[in-house]
């Protein structure tokens, strides 16, 4: 009797299923679906085009096309928006909040686009720090002026142009002039000699320049980043000029993505010489750079997540290809 009921139940269920309407993707439905997709793409394209103010027509078209392509083809592989460490309390909206801690003494000077710690013994900055945003990179109203000059704000006196003259070394920017295009004042301040460090010509105009350009790409892709740049002022074997400006063997850059809701970090360490290696080969975690340099980055950031950000290193989260 039980078996008969079960059999009857199966037949009833089967009958119910067969009686349910089926969706057939016929020509009419296919055409309607295509219309909806095209309409959605056009709406998205129009929104992307007309909301990107302050850019050229070609830039608007390129940006809108990329966004539309990613939406249409579900380009998840290149989407790094969800990569990083989440935090509800990490705040870094002022340059002074991200000052690194270093054993060497330094006179802190603040300028409109960057801050620096000046090392009198080595006649250059221990580090420079600044916040760079997508808007700053795209705002190129200030032209390069090459107004190299001593920094009169440095109490003990900064290096001079004469210290570099005839040495074969470039006056290498720590805070790049190209990062300061958004302000005529910041552009002018970037040529203070306190922001310079002796760099091999092939290094300054080669791999170092490539890294500077990539940092600007990071700012555009991540909306807002914090940058710390400096020389490694240890094991110095060469000095130049009347003021004995130290020639560093290494330079570093630390980049912290500070756009919410997730945060990530990356560091670069480069030898002061020409190189044909890829930028990725110089990349490392912030933690690794701290061990090499003895510098404690972001020590003033009041958030427990910063330690994990410094230790975590996912090179795929950064566009280094």
**Model confidence pLDDT, tens digit, residues 308-321:** 999 999 999 999 86
SS3 state at 271: strand
User: In this predicted model, what pLDDT tens digit does every residue of 223-235 receive, in sequence order?
Assistant: 999 999 999 999 9
Q: In this structure, are 156 and 248 located in the same domain?
A: yes
Residue-wise pLDDT tens digits, 288-305: 999 999 999 998 888 888
- Same domain, residue pair 95 and 70: no
Residue 5 is assigned to a structural domain of this protein: no
103 and 72 in a common domain: no
Q: Does 173 participate in catalysis according to the annotation? A: yes
pTM here is: 0.75
Clarify whether residues 282 and 151 are in a common domain.
Answer: yes
Q: What is the Cα–Cα distance from 22 to 40, expressed in whole angstroms?
A: 26
Cis peptide before 261 (omega within 30 of 0): yes
| DSSP secondary structure of 208-261 | HHHHHHHHHHHHHHHSEEEEEEEE--SS---EETTTTEE--SEEEEEEEE--SS
Domain span at 235:
85-317
- To 10 degrees, what angle do helices 27-51 and 57-72 make? 140
pLDDT digits (tens, 9 = 90+) for 62-100: 444 444 444 444 443 444 444 688 876 788 889 999 999
- Are residues 171 and 251 located together in one domain of the fold? yes
- CA–CA distance, 120 with 193 (Å, rounded to integer): 12
Domain count, the chain: 2
């Amino acid at each position: 009797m039980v078996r008969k009921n079960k059999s009857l139940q199966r037949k009833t269920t089967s009958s119910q299923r067969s009686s349910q309407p089926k969706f057939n993707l016929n020509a009419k439905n296919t055409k309607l679906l295509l219309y909806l997709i095209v309409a959605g793409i056009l709406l998205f394209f129009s929104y992307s085009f007309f909301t990107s103010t302050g850019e050229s027509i070609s830039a608007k078209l390129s940006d809108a096309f990329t966004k539309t392509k990613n939406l249409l083809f579900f380009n998840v592989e290149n989407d790094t928006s969800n990569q990083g460490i989440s935090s509800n309390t990490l705040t870094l909206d002022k340059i002074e909040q991200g000052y690194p801690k270093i054993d060497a003494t330094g006179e802190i000077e603040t300028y409109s686009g960057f801050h620096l710690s000046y090392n009198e013994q080595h006649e250059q900055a221990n580090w420079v720090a600044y916040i760079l945003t997508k808007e700053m990179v795209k705002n190129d109203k200030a032209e390069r002026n090459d107004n190299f000059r001593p920094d009169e704000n440095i109490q003990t006196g900064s290096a001079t142009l004469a210290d570099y003259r005839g040495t074969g070394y470039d006056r290498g920017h720590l805070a790049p002039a190209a990062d300061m295009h958004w302000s005529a004042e910041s552009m002018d301040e970037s040529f203070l000699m306190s922001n310079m460090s002796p760099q091999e010509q092939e290094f300054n105009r080669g791999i170092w320049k490539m890294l500077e350009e990539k940092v600007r790409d990071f700012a555009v892709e991540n909306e807002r980043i914090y940058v710390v740049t400096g020389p490694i002022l240890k094991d110095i074997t060469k000095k130049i000029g009347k003021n004995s400006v130290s020639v560093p063997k290494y330079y570093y850059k630390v980049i912290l993505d500070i756009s919410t809701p997730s945060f990530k970090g990356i560091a670069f360490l480069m030898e002061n010489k020409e190189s044909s290696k890829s930028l990725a080969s110089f990349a490392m975690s912030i933690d690794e750079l701290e061990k090499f340099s003895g510098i404690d980055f972001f020590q003033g950031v009041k958030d427990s997540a910063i330690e994990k950000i410094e230790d975590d290193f996912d090179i795929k989260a950064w566009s280094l290809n």
